[in-house]
Amino acid sequence: MPPINKLIELRLQEAVLAVLPDADVASVLVRPCPDPKFGDYQTNALMGLAKARKLNPRQLAADVFARLNLTDLCERVEIAGAGFLNFHIKRQAQVAALEAAAAGGPLFFEPADKPRTVVIDFSSPNVAKAMHVGHIRSTILGDSLARTLRLLGHRVVTDNHIGDWGTQFGKLLVGWKLHLDAAALKADPIGEMERLYKLVNRLSEADPAVLEEARQELVRLQRGDEENLRIWREMIALSQVQFDTIYERLGVRFDVTLGESFYNPRLQPLVQELVGKGIAVESEGAKVVFFEEIPTLKAHPALVQKSDGAANYTTTDLATMAHRLETWKPDEIVYVTDGRQQLHFQQIFAVFQKWRSGEKVRLAHVWFGSILGEDGKPFKTRSGETIKLTDLLDEAAERALKTVAEKNPTLTEAEQREIARVIGLGAVKYSDLLPNRQSDYVFSWDKMLALNGNTAPYLQYAYARIRSIFRKGNVGAEAEAAPARILLDAPQEVALARRLLNFGIILEAVAEEYRPNFLCNYLYDLAGDFTAFYENCQVLKAEPESRASRLAICDLTARVLKQGLDVLGIETLEQM
C-alpha cells in the first residue's frame, strides 16, 4: 500500500492537471502540517503555480479542490490562507496503513518509481597518513546518504577517491630510502611513514639539497622508475590496511576505491581537449579556464595545467568525473567534503558545464562545517595535535564502558565491551549527523554519551526499552504485534501513529536535500511520542483487544527506530 501522503499527492497532481494541463506537477508535493490542529498534511504548491501564471492562488486552490476526490482518505480538505490545502486524514485510513506495515509491509515508504543511479564520493583519505578526526564527517555523512538512497530503491555507487599521488611522495621516498626503521614500519606502518615525512620535510627546509633530492625522487616515480614504483605501491598497500580496519569499525563499505594515480593517463588528453575546444586558454604559461559569464567566478579562473606542465586537483577531478560518467552513467554525482572546498567544486562544475554541456547529470557538493573543541577552537589533542580517528573511536568505547559497567555490573566483561562499542560508536556518529551539516559543532563527550536528550544512546535505549516490553510480557513480537485491528483511541496513540506514518517523507527529504539531521530529529520526536504513549496507555495490562493493538504499535515504533538508526549507520541493542 503506498503511503497516505503519496496517494493524496497523486490525486492532487491529477486535479492540478485537470485545471492547468501544462503544469509541471513534479513540485506539487504533500508534506506534514507543522501544527496538527490545521490537519495531518498540507500543500503550498498551488501558490507557486498561481504566481507563475498571475492567477489568484486562493481561486486556483478552489478550482483544484473542486476536482479533488479524497473521500476515502480524508475527513475533510480545507482551503486556508493564501492558497494552502490542508488535509485531515480519516482515522480508518491511518489504521489501514498501520495494519499493512504491522502485517510485514513496508515501513511507510515505497521504493522510488524512477530509481536514479547516484555516485557518492566521500571519505578520501591520503596514503601514508593516519585517518584523523577531520575524515569522520565526510565518512559518516557519505555513508548515511548512501544508506538512505539504497533504502529508497536507488542504485548507489560509493567511490572512495584516495590521495595516492603528489609532491609529498618525493619526500616520503627520500625518507624511505635513507631513514627507514624496518622494525617501526612493521609495528606501526602509518606512524613510521608519518615520521619519515616529517623528518624529510624538516631536513628539506634546512637544506635545499634535500628538497632537490625529493623533487628528483618524485620525477623518477612519475617516469615509472621500478624501485620507486615498488616502494610507492607498498606505501599504498600498508595504508589500505589502515583504511580497511577503520572502515570495518565504522561499518562503512565502498563499492570502488581508486587513487588519484588511476586518472593520470587521462590528464594530458583532457587538457588538450579543453584547449582544442577553446574552453582553456594559455595564461602566463599555464592553461586556464575563465568564467567571464559567471559573476561569482569571474575573479576565480580555474587552473587546469600549471606553467611547468603539471596537472592539479582540478584536472584530476574532471578526469574522475569523466570516468564515472562513462562507467556508471549516473543521474547524479555527489561530493561530500568540508566547506573549504566550495570554490573548488564551483569551478569544476562550471568547467564541466562548458566541457560536457550535453550531459544530463546532477552535480552536488554536499559540504559541511568543522568540529570544534569545547573551547570553540578546532578539535585537537591537548598538545595541539590532530586527533587520530582510531584514538577517537577507542576513547568513545572506553568512556561508554564506564557507564555500562556501572549500570550493568552483572554482565560479563565481553558483554559490557560489546554494548560499549555499539553505544560509543553510535554516539560519535549521531553527534556528527545531528547538527545542520553546514554548521560547525562542538564536540562534547558528556553530551553525546548522555542517556537523555537528543543523543544516540537515548534512541538506542528507547529501542531496547520497547523490546523489553515483549520480554516482560513473555510474548513474541511476531505473534502479538500483527492483530486484525489496530485501535487508535487515546490521543497519545493518534499522535504516535501520525509520527510513524511520516517516516517515508523524512527519508525522501534526507535523500533530496542531503541532510541526515532531518532523520535524527524525527527519531528523537518519535521516541518522545512513544514515551507519552507508554506513560498514558496500558500495554501489557490492557484488555486483550487493546493489548494486541498496542503491542503492534510498540513493534512498529521499534521497527522504525531500528530502520532509522540503521540508515544513520548506527547499530541497536536488544538490551542495554
Phi and psi, residue 282, nearest 5° = -80, 135
Write down the pLDDT at residue 105: 85
C-alpha dist (Å) from residue 481 to 392, 526, 527, 535, 559 = 40, 18, 18, 19, 11
Q: How far apart, in whole angstroms, are the C-alpha atoms of residue 169 and residue 125?
A: 15
Domains of the chain: 4-89 (3.30.1360.70), 117-162+267-369 (3.40.50.620), 168-250 (no CATH), 370-446 (no CATH), 450-576 (1.10.730.10)
Which tens digit of pLDDT belongs to each residue from 443-497? Answer: 999 999 998 999 999 999 999 999 999 998 887 644 554 455 899 999 999 999 9
C-alpha dist (Å) from residue 68 to 5, 10, 19, 490 = 14, 10, 11, 31
18 or 481: which carries more pLDDT confidence? 18
Is the pLDDT at 30 greater than 70? The verdict is yes
Write down the pLDDT at residue 201: 94
Q: What percent of the chain has pLDDT over 70?
A: 98
Write down the pLDDT at residue 484: 59
* Residue 2, helix vs strand vs coil: coil
Is the pLDDT at 283 greater than 90? The verdict is yes
- Amino acid making up residue 10: L
293-322 CB burial, b ≥16 within 10 A, e <16: eeeebeeebbbbbeeeeebeebbbbbbbbb
Which tens digit of pLDDT belongs to each residue from 335-366? Answer: 999 999 999 999 999 999 999 998 999 999 99
- The CB-based long-range contact list for 377-385 (8 Å cut-off, 24+ gap) reads 379/133, 379/443
Q: What is the mean pLDDT of the chain?
A: 94
* Residue 524, helix vs strand vs coil: helix
C-alpha dist (Å) from residue 95 to 108, 486, 552 = 12, 6, 11
pTM of the model: 0.94
386 or 27: which carries more pLDDT confidence? 27
Which tens digit of pLDDT belongs to each residue from 191-225? Answer: 999 999 999 999 999 999 999 999 999 999 989 99
C-alpha dist (Å) from residue 362 to 120, 146, 299, 317 = 12, 16, 25, 16
Q: Which residue's C-alpha cell is 552483572?
A: 410
Write down the pLDDT at residue 375: 84
Write down the pLDDT at residue 483: 54
Cβ atoms of 560 and 503 closer than 8 Å:
yes
Q: How far apart, in whole angstroms, are the C-alpha atoms of residue 307 and residue 285?
A: 5
C-alpha dist (Å) from residue 94 to 57, 99, 250, 495 = 30, 9, 37, 11
